[in-house]
Amino acid sequence: MGGLHLHRLRRRQKWLVVNRANRYTASSNEIFAATDKVIVVEENQCWADLGRMGGEQFLSLTWNATVQHYLNSTSEHILSVGSAVHEIGHVLGFFHTMCRYDRDRYIKLVTQNINLRVIRNFQKISPNYSDVYGLGYDYGSIMHYDDRCDSVNGGPTIIATDTNYQKTMGSDLISFSDIFVINEHYGCNAICNKSTSAKCANEGFPHPRNCSICICPSGYGGPLCDKRPPGCGEDLMATNKKKMVNGSVGFGSDLRDHFDFCNYMISFSIQAPKGKKIVVDLEWVSYGYDRPGCIRGGVEIKAQKDQKLTGPIVSSVNPLPLILFNRQGTMQTRVTYRYID
């Protein structure tokens, strides 16, 4: 999660907020009559003004930029909905995650590899002009660059302090922390009365349009975020003996503009010894999915304590969500799991 730049925000204005918790539909007459509006243009790259500027402001989306993820040496291009969402994030006030004032604890910039013409995109933003709403650093935020973004020589520009997250950076998926912050900042989270609203588990929060159900972090589902999401996947019970699961998600060979998911939930019995932890070993994933940001597909293991953040494999989290996601071809993976004392 990048956080919100406060210097250019007007907190009490009505906004079009694009996420699962908020919805605003305007007629064409309302759009043309609006004093403040965002005009989408096509220039030679993607960019957007940061926050509400007043009057007309611009957001640029262009084919070469929105599809420009360098997946291999042949510069293969794919359509990236995430690029468009990233720019909308800027309009809503989000700055880049790697510009957080506390970023040095989580990443290291390789400045000699960064194109000097865009070095400003990596500059820290003072806490006097930003708010991260108490959330930890989310490598999987839609506002985080991938590890080779704006490289002048193909070398890495960002190194994750926790190497488990090196390929998490640059995700095309809007993260739960992104959704939480946008709802917190624009007052949506205050709509639901805490005493009468749903009691959400696993860091979820009441849905502003229906306070009796919850918006859940990835890997969790059900009205209260205490179950595995419906659909592909299964509940797994860990023992002290190694078990294996062969997962598969996706279909065909063409790129899809949406991700398909397969959710597993690994638990251990209450009869197991105290102080136990789940050990997960990712043994292999289909060839071709080792890309920055896992933009074709990947595996998320939510082993961290703060379940609001994107996960990277020893964990005391019980149950432990294991998430497969894919939008091209059929991705297969093999994972083993067990608990240890």
Bind-site residues for Zn(2+): 86, 90, 96
Active-site residue, selected from the candidate residues 43, 87, 184, 300: 87
In CATH, what class is 4-185? alpha beta
Entry pTM? 0.81
pLDDT at 8: 37
Which residue ranges are tagged as binding site?
86, 90, 96
pLDDT at 247: 92
CA distances from residue 197 to 91, 185, 194, 212, 226 in whole angstroms, order as listed:
31, 19, 5, 5, 16
Domain boundaries, the chain: 4-185, 193-226, 235-340
**DSSP three-state, residue 127:** helix
193-226 placed in CATH 1.10.8: no
- pLDDT computed for residue 62 by the predictor: 75
Instruction: Enumerate long-range contacts of 122-128, CB under 8 Å, 24 or more apart.
Output: 122/96, 122/98, 122/150, 122/157, 123/99, 124/99, 124/100, 125/3, 125/5, 125/95, 125/99, 125/100, 125/101, 126/101, 127/101
- For 229-242, the pLDDT digits (tens) are 999 999 999 988 99
**Residue 87 annotated to the active site:** yes
Nearest to 298 by CA among 319, 328, 278: 328
CA distances, 280 to each of 27, 166, 168, 294, 314 (Å): 50, 18, 18, 19, 6
CATH 2.60.120.290 fits 235-340, yes or no: yes
Give the C-alpha separation, 99 to 120, whole Å: 10
For 121, 174, 230, 250, 254, the CA distances from 258, given in Å and listed in that order, are 28, 12, 17, 11, 12
> pLDDT of the chain along its 341 residues, tens only?
555 544 433 332 333 333 444 555 555 666 667 788 888 888 777 888 888 888 888 888 876 544 444 333 233 334 467 888 899 999 999 999 999 999 999 999 999 999 999 999 999 999 998 889 889 999 999 999 999 999 999 999 999 999 889 989 999 889 999 999 999 999 999 999 999 999 999 999 999 999 999 999 999 999 999 999 999 999 999 988 999 999 999 988 887 878 899 999 998 875 556 678 888 888 888 888 877 778 888 888 887 766 666 665 444 567 889 999 998 899 999 999 998 87
